[in-house]
Structure 1
Amino acid sequence: MPLARPRPAPPAPSASASAGATEAVAAVRAQALTKVHGRGETAVTALDGVDVCVTRGSFTAVMGPSGSGKSTLLNCLAGLDDATSGRVWVGPQEVTGLSEKALTRLRRDRIGFVFQSFNLLPVLTAGENMLLPMVLAGRRPDEAWRAEVVERLGLGDRLGHRPAELSGGQQQRVAVARALLPRPDVVLADEPTGNLDSRTGAQVLSLLRSAARETGQSVVMVTHDPAAAAYADRVVLLADGRLAGEVADPTPDSVLAALAALGG
């Protein structure tokens, strides 16, 4: 059963993925971002001169055909993958060129991750996994925010369970909670609802949207699901590693139409 929510009809897609987003209010920004895998005749260009700007407190979905560069863009924005050329900023801090130690500190303090692989530590309970980034940073959680996240993700009766005792969907919800609890500036999510049923997926997407609108966190989400993308403020479209436009105030139908125009 697909995730859906009513939305007003959107305007037509625009040609720029950074329209309305200025450097002064950027949570994360990329300029002329290029990523090439391999060399010579076997070289594959995953990103080809991408410019994108995500404003603070916004929820942006990234979509496109398979192999269009969506996950590569997310990894480069996080500094998990080195760009071949171009520049990336998280807030005022340029990511490109930072040492690994500085990158680790930046990711720990300012970026939350939700990826397809849950990356939970098997020896820790769900509750301990959620708090791990804050423990490593020497920070105490906001108990009211922690209680809200746990309740909205339906994890109250699973906090003492280890990952092996949780379903895939429950593990993904723990990973979402872990990303949100430190209140990072930016949350980067790669298919966060891919292992969830429609009801739980809707709860996760609503929480991500609330994090952007109510706490000022910025969310960048890669997804293949037009209904999931409709929770975002806009959808950035990629094709063959290049920007292919965007859909503002998306609905499932408008996203499907934009993807069809790309051949996706």
Structure 2
Amino acid sequence: MSAVVSETGRVGTQAAVAASSLVKVYGKGDTAVRALGGVSVAFQAGKFTAIMGPSGSGKSTLMHCLAGLDNVDGGSVHIGGTEITGLNDKDLTKLRRDRIGFVFQAFNLLPTLSAEANILLGLELAGRKPDKQWFDTIVDVLGLRDRLKHKPSELSGGQQQRVACARALVARPDVVFADEPTGNLDSRSGAEVLDFLRMSVRKLGQTVIMVTHDPVAASYADRVVLLADGHLAGEIQNPTADSVLSALKHLGA
């Protein structure tokens, strides 16, 4: 297995996802913006990590690079033992399909399909059959059993995001990336989704990496990674909303 950078910056082999000296620049010349300035960080398997920082800190850019949604200008990203920064488009697409789950702020459900069809769409496109027992486990944990035949327009925002969570998990990915997953939800629905993400880590062994601006959402995580101006600015273990808010204030968020 390839060596990766551990959570403390030392070399190790236990990380589910790791970035080493990651650089991302947007634009050229005088207008160039250095969104990431040599970030090295790792994310332990079977843990829930939140990425936070002030607006423009690079948190969304970091997630997009970690997930293979954006190219990098320097450094490397590993998912398990695979360096994804060296993959061609075909192999990268296959890796994202087979080993990564995504939950976005916009639920990204197809309006003409039922909840069940939306959950299974990725597997269908990949020509894979679902594991019925795993599907049933996810559906029951998320409380979607009596909503499977409903279309997105017949579901609340919270229910739609739970469908999106089920879709992300049904393929048993190595890691789930959640980008502001509660951004379009009221506090109650948001708490339900965060409860599930935390439960998926603790009971189902999932690895979750979430970008959020909300200290309450971050308090559901096992660890918070802080960014400022494209650089690591610290981390918080076992975060609370208050400890996250205090850290963000020190960063000028």
Q: TM-score, normalised by structure 1?
A: 0.88
1:102 is displaced (CA, Å) by 0.2
Matched, 1:178 2:171: no
Give aligned pairs, total.
249
In structure 1, C-alpha distance between the alignment counterparts of 2:101 and 2:133, rounded to whole Å: 19
Encode CA deviations 1:137-167: one digit per residue, 9 max, x unaligned: 3333333432333234333333223334434
Matched-pair contact (CA < 8 Å) for 2:19–2:40: yes
Structure 1 equivalent of residue 15 of structure 2: 26
In structure 2, C-alpha distance between the alignment counterparts of 1:24 and 1:145, rounded to whole Å: 28
1:96 is displaced (CA, Å) by 0.4
Q: What does 1:181-260 align with in structure 2 at a 5 Å threshold?
A: 181-260=170-249
Q: What does 1:1-264 align with in structure 2 at a 5 Å threshold?
A: 18-19=7-8, 23-264=12-253
Alpha-carbon spacing, 1:156–1:21, altered in 2? closer, same or farther (3 Å): farther
In structure 1, C-alpha distance between the alignment counterparts of 2:142 and 2:205, rounded to whole Å: 20
- Which stretch shifts more, 252-261 or 151-160? 151-160
What do you get for the CA RMSD once the two structures are aligned?
A: 2.0
Matched-pair contact (CA < 8 Å) for 1:186–1:218: yes
1:178 is displaced (CA, Å) by 0.6
Report the AA paired with residue 177 of structure 2: L
Alpha-carbon spacing, 1:262–1:17, altered in 2? closer, same or farther (3 Å): farther
1:20 is displaced (CA, Å) by 8.0
Report the AA paired with residue 208 of structure 2: V
Q: Which runs of 4+ in 1 moved over 6 A?
A: none
Report the AA paired with residue 92 of structure 2: L
SS in 2 for 1:141: coil
In structure 2, C-alpha distance between the alignment counterparts of 1:203 and 1:109, rounded to whole Å: 26
Q: Which runs of 5+ in 2 are unaligned?
A: none
Report the AA paired with residue 112 of structure 2: V
Alpha-carbon spacing, 1:33–1:20, altered in 2? closer, same or farther (3 Å): closer
Q: TM-score, normalised by structure 2?
A: 0.91
1:27 is displaced (CA, Å) by 0.4
Encode CA deviations 1:111-143: one digit per residue, 9 max, x unaligned: 000112222223322110111122223333333
Q: Which runs of 5+ in 1 are unaligned?
A: 1-15
In structure 2, C-alpha distance between the alignment counterparts of 1:138 and 1:214, rounded to whole Å: 28
Higher RCO (CA-CA < 8 Å; seq separation 6+): 1
In structure 2, C-alpha distance between the alignment counterparts of 1:213 and 1:19, rounded to whole Å: 23
In structure 1, C-alpha distance between the alignment counterparts of 2:16 and 2:24, rounded to whole Å: 21
In structure 1, C-alpha distance between the alignment counterparts of 2:41 and 2:49, rounded to whole Å: 11
- Which stretch shifts more, 197-206 or 235-244? 197-206
Matched-pair contact (CA < 8 Å) for 1:17–1:246: no
